[in-house]
Amino acid sequence: MKTKFRTLLASTAMLLAGATLSHAADWKYAFEESLTDVQGVYATKFKEAVEANSDHTITLFPYGSLGESADIMEQTQAGLLQFVNQSPGFTGALIPEAQVFFVPYLLPTDQDHLGRFFKNSKAINEDFVGLYANQGLELLSMYPEGEVAMTTKSPVKSCADLDEVKFRVMTNPLLVESYKAFGATPTPLPWGEVYGGLQTNIIQGQENPTFFLFSTKIYEVTDHITYAGHNNFTTALMANKQFYDGLSAEEQKVVQDAAASAFDYIVGYQKSLADSELDKIKEAKPAMTITVLSDEERACFKNAAAEVEAKFIEMTGEGGKAILDQMKADLDATRD
Ligand code: 6CS
């Protein structure tokens, strides 16, 4: 009898172990940068946390392995990928309210303020979660990647210097309006066409955070870096909502905790990157000019902001205005 009981116990234990094993899955996570860029470092932290706290594994797909930003979003919405990191620069075409990140001078360049804002903002952590859910996406985290700089072939001291400059922007309508208001000829393109476009002079400028100008060697095909303080690059991690809703409460907690710990890490990590990577650009190309515009020189960019904000409200109506107002309130509430 005892032996029979032991056998039963052993087979039950094996069955349970099998059941746990059969639930272990390999989740696919794609992002828009290389493994050593900010999104890659965030993804690595997220993967480490999920794997340390569950039986699941994560396979990371850096930029290019599954296509452009628009491709990895489609694959996630179709359920082929479980996680996607896509920046509002692209998501703005899908979720118009996400274009709010391109109202110039809305976000501060102070990285500590930004960190507090993203962590505590109602607009980010509640309102946008609902808007992303409408597109079949569970928004897990929004985080900053650094102040955006313009890189061009001729010097930029004011909006007038952007006249006739074909300026590449990510593919969202408000960013097009921004650069129109700045006086340039905006040219929306996926990332893969930017280096070649500058090399062949199809475009003469683009904007991105400093670390990306170095890691993607954009400094090789432009000669001037200009900081106007007009924006900070925002990006976002999300999951396929159907997949996320199908997880147990415990698994959802593992995913949320992993996103939160990767967020805490990346906010500090990316903070000093702008300075260290700018030094590397200076070393690689001493002739590169680096200009931080004075308040006076920024005036025309700042004046353009009101026009772009009005366009945003025109494009998104009451819902967009509510998000914008909430973001402003959240930014005020997280000031020092
Ligand atoms: O400008 C872009 O398209 C890219 N910029 C960054 C910083 N990350 C990914 C995105 O594709």
| Ligand 1 centroid from CA 233, angstroms | 9
Whole-angstrom distance, CA of residue 80 vs CA of residue 76? 6
| pTM > 0.85 | yes
Assess whether the C-beta atom of 233 lies below 6 angstroms from ligand 1: yes
Tell me how far the alpha carbon of residue 335 lies from the centroid of ligand 1, in angstroms: 27
One digit per residue, the tens of pLDDT, for the chain of length 336 reads 555 555 555 554 444 444 444 489 999 999 999 999 999 999 999 999 999 999 999 999 999 999 999 999 999 999 999 999 999 999 998 999 999 999 999 999 899 999 999 999 999 999 999 999 999 999 999 999 999 999 999 999 999 999 999 999 999 999 999 999 999 999 999 999 999 999 999 999 999 999 999 999 999 999 999 999 999 999 999 999 999 999 999 999 999 999 999 999 999 999 989 999 999 999 999 999 999 999 999 999 999 999 999 999 999 999 999 999 999 999 999 998
91 lines ligand 1 (CB under 6 A): no
Protein residue whose Cα sits closest to atom 10 of ligand 1: 32
Whole-angstrom CA distances from 261 to 100, 110, 159, 253 are 26, 21, 40, 12
Mutate to test the pocket of ligand 1, among 31, 32, 102, 145 (most ligand atoms within 8 A of CB): 32
| Residue 232, CB-side half-sphere exposure with 13 Å CA sphere | 22
- Look at residue 335 and give its three-state secondary structure: coil
Q: Where are the beta strands (DSSP E) in 51-129?
A: 57-61, 83-86
Determine whether the shortest distance from the Cβ of 69 to ligand 1 is under 6 A: yes
* Helix or strand (DSSP H, E) at 332: helix 295-333
Q: Domains of the chain (ranges plus CATH)? A: 25-333 (3.40.190.170)
